[in-house]
Chains A and B, each alone.
Chain A
């Protein structure tokens, strides 16, 4: 018997974090820059929602506004932090030696493990939009690591492509979880099969419309399903872009 929850776009937590005042050391780019964050799960100032899903603890739909907008260099341990760039250019800097420019389709998995610092920066006037995903790891204080990948939109058209996880070609992480993306430009039926009925799937519509497990989801809507052998997803005419995060429950 499967279970589910639906989270509409406007039901998510929303925070606008300024680069001035109380958050000036958190967000860089004084004085104009600010970060907008829609949180699917409790995070920071937003604590009125769901605490997480499976091993997911953070799912943030974020915008970095104005040149210099950044999360200033700060420390992490343990969490597996993934970023999927949707628009604009993200400069990611980490103390493992990474200094990277990522554009739409690019993504990374940063396993903070026994410790590392990172900075997330938009150097440009155009907004940078990205999804940030945090997963609990399967071991504490792992050796930190950083791996980047790229979603080839042309190759990924009308199929579900695994971006993060143990599948060949995906960025590996130390957790029983995987992230996939579906880009569709025509009506289609896609059957997502979790590894087991003990795995749940969080489907987030980046753009377009998706009928997911019977529910019509629109742009930035999402649905979590668990206990199911198969999750039937239908796309219509027009462009649809969906992120699926599968996690052991």
Chain B
């Protein structure tokens, strides 16, 4: 992967994964939002772990993932 590639970050408190490519639109982070642009006071939506306790991971997705988001 190049340094410019979009990456995933995993919460070390619960495993929730943030993917720069998909973002978190329901939490105000559009697809493509880089980790560095996620606010510093942002916390894991599932467990409240601070942004500083996420780890960048280069782990491939399971087959069929990421799944297309369900229609609103």
Contact = CB atoms under 8 A, between A and B. Distances in A.
Interface of A: 42-44, 47, 51, 57, 74-79, 112-114, 134, 136-143
Contacts of A57: 12, 55
Contacts of A141: 17, 61-62, 65-67
A140 B59 contact: yes
B15 A79 contact: yes
Contact of B62 (A112, A136, A139): A139
Given A114-B65, A140-B8, A141-B65, A76 B14 contact: yes
Question: Majority SS of interface residues in chain A?
Answer: loop
Question: Majority SS of interface residues in chain B?
Answer: loop
B35 interface: no
Nearest to A57: B12
Contact of A74 (B8, B14, B55, B67): B14
A143 B13 CA distance: 20
Contacts of A138: 59-60
A77 B14 contact: yes
A137 B10 CA distance: 11
Contacts of A47: 53
A51 B66 CA distance: 27
A78 B10 CA distance: 8
A174 to B, nearest CB: 8
B17 to A, nearest CB: 6
